[in-house]
Copies of this chain bind each other. A is one copy, B any other.
Amino acid sequence: MKLAILGMGAVGRGILEVLDGKELGLTVTGLADSKSGLMDRDGIHIEEVLAAKRERGFCGDKYISATDIVEQADYDVLVEVTPTDARTGEPATGFIKAAIGRGKHVVTSNKGPVALHHAVLQSMARKHGVAFRYEATVGGAIPIMHTLEHGLAGNRVLAVFGILNGTCNFILTRMAAENLTYDQALLEAREMGYAEADPTYDVKGIDAAIKLVILSNTIWKRNVKLDDVGITGIDMLTTDALRLAEEQHCTIRLIAEAVPERGILRVAPRVLPKNHPLVVDGSLNAITLETDMAGEITLIGKGAGSRETASAIIGDVLFIREMHVRGH
């Protein structure tokens, strides 16, 4: 099966490294970063391209753009892993629509298009008889979408609760364990590479809220928007609050929570018993699904990382092959 990959950040490079190291029967026939692109219907030489990117900062021909790849390359699946623009969803949404319009499957890790245009993109994909998959957008390596789609098929999902942002979870874990202030823990998160220079999206709960929107629309098809989510971040949390929780064998976590029957759609710090399955430490993510048959199912795993996100992308690609490509 032939892949065109857009984006050569940590995720794109992670995917290429995996494809280079594993015999998965997947060929990369198109590739673009923000500055250049290349096409080869016989398969791009991955090692060479990774070396080129490392050495000169771009992967291919500066006269070939991502749009050229989407519109002209010979591929079965578009792997869209450019950076998220949560406000506009562009240019990713345009790429995705163009690929679906050409009858190509799409796999993405980009939260923008899915949070903003889930219903439109799914219905376009259905119309063209192709798959639109986005396992990597929520929970990193945790196969939450596969679990919803197949593992828990037949169940009605009543509620979802999640720790969807590893940066916040790392900060809260450190505050509780070492009695650090928020600022001290944030500094540590930065030093360890868990927090961006500008951590606003993470610590204000916006990243978790975007993922909650994606989960909600996947589960309940209700077309909620980021503005519908009540959001409280962790940046005002005091050491006293954590100590108080501790005294009751509890701790505080930033929980994203959707319970449609009770009108709940929010991200906020919550006090939880320490032995609650959702209470994970460090930069882990965790998601609990409350269902009518299976009861509560919790999934825990790494919420970020180049190889972990590649795992989610590859899982989607292989599933598309299983479902759509005959006789492989």
Contacts and interface: CB of A to CB of B under 8 A. Distances in A.
A296 B140 CA distance: 12
B308 A293 contact: yes
30 contacts: A18-B293, A135-B151, A141-B293, A141-B294, A141-B295, A141-B297, A143-B147, A143-B297, A146-B150, A147-B147, A150-B318, A150-B322, A151-B151, A151-B315, A152-B311, A153-B319, A153-B322, A154-B315, A155-B315, A275-B279, A277-B300, A293-B311, A294-B311, A295-B308, A296-B301, A296-B302, A297-B301, A299-B299, A299-B300, A323-B323
Interface string A120-158: 000000000000000100000111001100111111000
Interface string A286-328: 0000010111111111100101101110110111001100000
Contacts of A297: 141-143, 299-301
A284 interface: yes
Nearest to A145: B151
A24 interface: yes
A201 to B, nearest CB: 23
A224 interface: no
A56 interface: no
Given A146-B147, A151-B146, A153-B319, A298 B299 contact: yes
Interface residues of A, number: 46
A54 interface: no
A87 interface: no
Oligomer: number of copies: 2
A46 interface: no
A141 to B, nearest CB: 4
A107 B169 CA distance: 40
Contacts of A299: 297-300
Contacts of A296: 301-302
A68 interface: no
A262 interface: no
B295 A152 contact: no
A235 interface: no
Contacts of A298: 298-301
Nearest to A277: B300
Interface string A47-77: 0000000000000000000000000000000
A114 B301 CA distance: 28
A281 interface: yes
A44 interface: no
A307 B156 CA distance: 13
A323 B322 CA distance: 9
Nearest to A295: B302
B152 A143 contact: yes
A280 interface: yes
Nearest to A279: B275
A90 to B, nearest CB: 29
A215 to B, nearest CB: 15
A24 B225 CA distance: 30
A135 B293 CA distance: 14
A318 B312 CA distance: 23
